[in-house]
Amino acid sequence: MDQKHELLLEHARQQSKGARVVMALLHTASLIDRACATELSKFDLSEGRLSVLLAAAKSRGATPAFLAEQLGITRAAITGLVDGLERQGLIRRSAHPADRRSMTIEVTVPGQEVLDRLVPIYGAWLQELSTGISTEAADDALDVFAAIQHSLGGGSRNE
């Protein structure tokens, strides 16, 4: 664990194993986010933009509101992400066939080409990160994460 998280534990007067696990998880998540950003920057993407691109590829002709709901983000956030992807030429907006007030989002050929190039690289990166994690350790970790998510009101412990 890093010094920042050690200091937070010390300040909160929390030295329980559970509190240390939460802080270790925060530190690990930060390291993963940073590494992910580095990988995606090679494609001029952020995790948010990649998520929108993947959701748009999966749900062809989806509206921005639908994509926002699918990804659990606000409509304002989806607008910014779609704007960026459109400037990059990776998606295009089109008039909704049944609702003049709405638009649909479609992945362009260059957008699909980026996804096709990125998928094996991203998959290999995930595989590399998870090397050495046994099935038993993974199951235990997923149980711990479920307990934390439950405590945060983000799901049941049986998901």
pLDDT in tens, 78-121: 999 999 999 999 999 998 888 878 899 999 999 999 999 998 99
Question: Which string of b and e fits 12-36 if b means at least 16 CB within 10 Å?
Answer: eeeeeeeeebbbebebeeeeeeeeb
Q: Which domains does the chain have, with CATH numbers?
A: 45-134 (1.10.10.10)
Band of residue 3 on the pLDDT scale cut at 50, 70, 90: confident
Q: Are strands 91-95 and 103-107 parallel, antiparallel or unpaired?
A: antiparallel
Nearest to 145 by CA among 47, 1, 5, 24: 24
Which pTM does this prediction carry?
0.80
Any idea what DSSP says for residue 90? S
